Amino acid sequence: MIRNGALALVGLFLTLFTVTGAMAADNYKIGIVTPTLSASEDEFRGAVRVSEKYPGRIKHISLPENYSEEQETAITQILSLGDDPEVKAIVICAGYSGILPAIQKMKTKRPELLIITAPIWDDPDMMAKYVDLSLDTDWVARGRSIPAKAKNMGAKTFIHYSFPTHMAKEVLAKRRDMMKETCEKEGMKFVEVSTPDPTTGAGASPMLQFLQEDIPRQIARYGQDTAIFGTNCPMQDVIIAQALELKFIMPEQCCPTPTQGFPAAMELEISEKDAGNFDVINATIAKKAADAGVTGRLSTWPVPVGYFFPEFSTELAMQKIDGKLKTFNLASLQPVAKEVAGVDVHFNAMKPGLDNYYLIIMDSIIY
């Protein structure tokens, strides 16, 4: 009897030890780093969504409003996450450069700490040495995807609006050249129009006034089966408003998201409750498009990439920690991305030789 009782106590102890160990393994946290709500709404709201999805599991910090002048403070904030032993992974969705030193320090102190950046803009080759996974938008490859989509939407002409300081940027110039090349392959006429430069003189007003006057001229010349693309964020309000009136094709904004251009042009009233509910936002845009008679002629990505990245990266981190993912590769990334975005997400290696830095393009929604 004593022997049996002792065995029972040992069994109970082992059971409790196993359960306690499992609980401890599950009781980790994920740190998410974003700008503030006013500095970058999509990333901030994306992190809030993940915090609500996994209550008590997320430590969300916002970097200083004026990051460029408070970089040391930002690094200290990030390092504080790495000093928390309960934090097993850190997701940095900031779109800033200068964060890599913090990552280097954390990885030196805690090599097992999982770090995903989505994105930060430090040197890719250096990042590949310290970051477990880096993600960003494939800005250049959109030079193929946007004209190809415009063609499928019925475009015969593709108009590219930009200005000198933008075209001096290598990424934007490469994308423009790729758009021109794709248009030639697709049998579309490519038209390049230069606007007043908003970075000089009187700011954005002359550029926007030029668009107001020039877009109707271009549509009168080339017809409604014309796609218009602008490289500057403030352009989008005017382009979409003109598309509602003139019925041309707007295949995608410079930053593809339902929250750029559409709310102002369509006078959308989005409640605070629905601010991150893109099912509701997209349905509202689709109705407005139908009311304006432009169904099938407006398109974008169904969720902002800044909103997508915090949740996607967190899901990857949790699956890796939980042992559901052994490595980050195309076979493991794509199913998780589709579950989060609701559409297929396409990944390309940032450059040959880097197996942990991917650029994405998301499938579109056409309203």
The stretches of 153-203 forming alpha helices (DSSP H) are 164-167, 170-186
Under DSSP, the state recorded for 196 is P
The whole-angstrom separation of Cα 55 and Cα 57 is: 6
The confidence score (pLDDT) of residue 204 equals: 95
Question: Starting at the edge strand that comes first in sequence, how are the strands of the sheet with 58-62 ordered?
Answer: 58-62, 29-34, 87-92, 114-117, 133-137, 357-362, 345-349
Question: Is there a contact between 136 and 153 (Cβ–Cβ < 8 Å)?
Answer: no
The confidence score (pLDDT) of residue 25 equals: 52
> Which strand (E) or helix (H) includes residue 321?
helix 305-321
Dihedral sign computed on CA atoms, order 269, 309, 289, 194: positive
Specify whether the backbone of 56 is left (phi greater than 0), alpha (psi in -120 to 50) or beta: left
The confidence score (pLDDT) of residue 27 equals: 87
Dihedral sign computed on CA atoms, order 277, 280, 286, 291: negative
- State both tokens at 346: 């396409």
Domains of the chain: 29-131+306-362 (3.40.50.11400), 142-252+257-300 (3.40.50.11390)
For the chain, helix, strand, coil in percent to 5 are 50, 15, 35
- State both tokens at 181: 């090349």
Give the residues across from 1 on adjacent strands.
none
The whole-angstrom separation of Cα 175 and Cα 230 is: 12
The length of the chain, given as a count of residues: 367
Cis peptide, bond prior to residue 119, ω within 30 of zero: yes
| Strand duo 157-162 + 114-117: pairing | unpaired
The whole-angstrom separation of Cα 338 and Cα 66 is: 34
| Amino acid in position 253 | Q
Least Cα distance to 268 among 245, 256, 292, 285 occurs for: 285
* Per-residue pLDDT tens listing for the chain (367 residues): 444 444 444 444 444 434 444 434 568 999 999 999 999 999 999 999 999 999 999 999 999 999 989 999 999 999 999 999 999 999 999 999 999 999 999 999 999 999 999 999 999 999 999 999 999 999 999 999 999 999 999 999 999 999 999 999 999 999 999 999 999 999 999 999 999 999 988 899 999 999 999 999 999 999 999 999 999 999 999 999 999 999 999 999 999 999 999 999 999 988 888 888 999 999 999 999 999 999 999 999 999 999 999 999 999 999 999 999 999 998 999 999 999 999 999 999 999 989 999 999 999 999 9
Beta carbons within 10 angstroms of residue 160's beta carbon: 23
The pTM of the full predicted model, rounded to 2 decimals, is 0.89
How many Å is the maximal CA-CA distance in the chain?
A: 99
The whole-angstrom separation of Cα 62 and Cα 49 is: 14
The whole-angstrom separation of Cα 285 and Cα 200 is: 34
Helix (H, G, I), strand (E, B), or coil: what is residue 124? helix
Question: Is there a contact between 319 and 294 (Cβ–Cβ < 8 Å)?
Answer: no
Under DSSP, the state recorded for 250 is B
